[in-house]
Structure 1
Amino acid sequence: MLTSDQTEQQQSERKITHRCTECGIPLAPDECYVCDSCAIFLYADPNSMMYEGDDDDSV
């Protein structure tokens, strides 16, 4: 049987939360390394921007 100290230690280990590597806020269960707001800046979609040379109408 567990002593009260061992029980408290196990409960404190369960409460460990992972933090965002960029801003340090606690992460949601579905987030891995960075929060959603930091992920927008770190992992920007390269196809989301159009440049002047991309709008060719010569099809």
Structure 2
Amino acid sequence: MILAPGSAAEVRRSTVAFYSAAGFTSVSDSVLNKGKRQITLVAENRDHSATQTNLMIGVTTR
């Protein structure tokens, strides 16, 4: 789990942009694919805070 500054929506958007720049393709707003790899993102505001977000990144093979 990663503690990131900003709202959950901002953190998810910036993480999707990071992985898209690395060649991953968005399947949905929180799932990206590249080759046989799939990344799933879960972002949740920490303790109902709009300034801190818990980010979890799951990586699997398809």
Question: TM-score, normalized by length of structure 1?
Answer: 0.24
State the structure with bigger RCO (CA 8 A, min sep 6), 1 or 2.
2
Larger-Rg structure: 1
The structure with the largest helix share of the pair is 1
The structure with the largest strand share of the pair is 2
